[in-house]
Amino acid sequence: MAALMCLNAGSTSLKFALYRLEPKPDLTLLCKGQVEGLQQDSPRFEAFDATGKALEANLLLPPHLDASQVLAPVLAWLQAQFPALPLKGVVHRLVQGGDRFNKPAFLNDEALNYLESLSALEPSHQPINVSVARTLMKADPSIPQIGCFDTAFHRHMPEVAQRYAVAPAVHQAGLVHWGFHGISYEYLSHEVKQRWPQARRVIAMHLGGGASVCAMLEGQSQDTSMGFGAITGLPMSTRCGDVPVDGVLYLLRHKHFSLPELEDLLFKQSGLLGLSQISGDMRTLEAQRETHESAQLAIDFFVYALSKYVGAYAAVLGGVDALVFSGGMGEKSALVRAALCRRLAWMGITLDEAANQTHAACISNPSSAIQVLVIPTNEEWMMALDARDLLDAVK
């Protein structure tokens, strides 16, 4: 027996999952968990078994650590829980794979050097993703390190969807429609194929703190709302989504904000938080929408932006067979789902209100022209499956 560990490192959290690789074809989840509150005074560790039951975790962590610094105590805890289960590999989520990595790949020093260079394209997540992989590689070079890339799923989009209307020199400098949330969309594509194989033209929505929409044809990405970086497309929890380039140039040219100030505003103080001035959390906005007009404005704007992308992607696909909600908001906000479906009634969507309130797998009526589905995403499982296939290919 052997295990595979999945790591998803962020600026304030480290998520992990441990899978047993045998017997095939199953990937058996042993446990999953996370450290939250990194870089803060009181980081919090929690872990759960495959049933969701909390595991006893008296793991006290020092303050102000980053994801790479908490690896050692987390690994020690896992080893104590599963002492007879050796690691066959570690798979990392990396946000940006550039034009070199369009599928999962083994990581070595040369690959990590290239991936680190992409931090200029994606400075929010890429540096810590690479740092965690480097830390593990140094700690035990014998364990294979594997990268799964959020951009990879979109590297097979038609060329017109990957380009911007700029001169070749600008394109070659890196101004490319990269697309993100690819591991989540790969999982959603897999689930739709398994459970609703008749759905060829699918519009999937990963709606969490970061949010995006993806048009998929026969399981392949055709277009996606996140573009060059992680703030474009839909408005998000604190990120602005689409804003006019000439407006940004105006604000800088006339020195309304410095570049660092504007970056901070667009990344951390915009989106749902910027519109509402209350919170970037949809649950809070829903709770306060009847007493605060700005909370309702933020919800309305989010649903409006969603409807524009869904309408555009219906045109890209030449029709829609299924609409998929995923991510924290997509899976848990019946209000957002209902509001969007009302806007899309012209497409022949009719909602089963009772199914929507219970977050059922299918929330459309049998008479609906388009199936409306709720699929909880599982990026760790998708990473584990891809990594197992890669490991098996080199046996």
Separation CA 54–CA 5 (nearest Å): 19
Instruction: Give me the active site residues, please.
Output: 150
Separation CA 214–CA 139 (nearest Å): 38
Separation CA 200–CA 197 (nearest Å): 7
Nearest to 300 by CA among 322, 325, 282: 282
Tokens of 233: 């497309």
3-9/87-94 β-pairing: parallel
Tokens of 50: 């495959």
Q: Report yes or no: 195 and 316 within 8 Å, Cβ to Cβ.
A: no
Q: Report yes or no: 188 and 324 within 8 Å, Cβ to Cβ.
A: yes
Separation CA 13–CA 36 (nearest Å): 5
Alpha helices in the chain (DSSP H): 71-81, 109-117, 126-139, 159-162, 168-172, 182-195, 245-253, 259-268, 271-276, 282-288, 293-317, 327-332, 334-343, 353-357, 379-393
Burial class (CB in 10 A: 0-12, 13-18, 19+), 312: middle
